[in-house]
Amino acid sequence: MHTLYGSQGSGSAALEMGLLNCRIPYRVMRASTWEADSARAELAAANPLGQIPTLVLPGGEVLTESAAILVHLGLSHPSCGLLPSSATARAQSIRGLVYLATNCYAAIGVIDYPERWTTTNDKSELERLQAGTRLRLHACWDAFADTFPATPFLSGSQPGALDFLAVVVSR
C-alpha cells in the first residue's frame, strides 16, 4: 500500500486527488513540521527535508515533489487519465505541472517562510520580501492563466493532474 505523508491544508491534497482518481489504495500519515503531535520523525526518515507531500510506494521507494509524484502516477496508471493520452497534450500538462511547482509553489514557500530565503532578521525586510514575492506570484498566475486555458479543464475534457495541482496551489 502507498503511504502519503501530508497534512490537512497542505499540498498533499493534490496527491490525494490523484491517488483517488487512479483508485490506488493508500494511507495518510499526518505529518508536518508545524504539527508537533504528527509523524514528523517518520517523515524525516523518508524525506530529510521534512517536506510534504512525500509518497512512499509499496516497495519502499520514496517520491517527493508534488509535480513529480503526479507525473509518476499518471505515467504508471495511464488509464486513470491524470495525464492526457496524446503525447503533445501530455507534454503540455507536464510543462504546466513543472511551471506550477517552480513559479507558484516555490513563491508560496517564500511568502510562508521568508526567513528561510534571506540572512536578515529585520521584520520590515522580511515583509518587503513577502510583498515582492506576492507580486511575482500574481504575475506568474496571470501568465499561467494565459498559457493554460481550461477546455473545459486544464487537462482537457476531464480533470487531471494539472487541475489537481492548480486548485491546491492556488488555494
Q: pLDDT in tens for each of the 171 residues of the chain?
A: 999 999 998 889 999 999 999 999 999 999 988 888 999 999 999 999 999 999 999 999 999 999 999 999 999 999 999 999 999 999 999 999 999 999 999 999 999 999 999 999 999 999 999 999 999 999 999 999 999 999 899 988 999 999 999 999 998
Nearest residue to 127 via CA among 110, 140, 109, 102 = 110
What is the DSSP-derived secondary structure letter of residue 120? -
C-alpha cell at 143: 501568465
pTM of the model: 0.93
Q: 110 and 117 in contact (C-beta within 8 Å)? A: yes
C-alpha cell at 117: 530565503
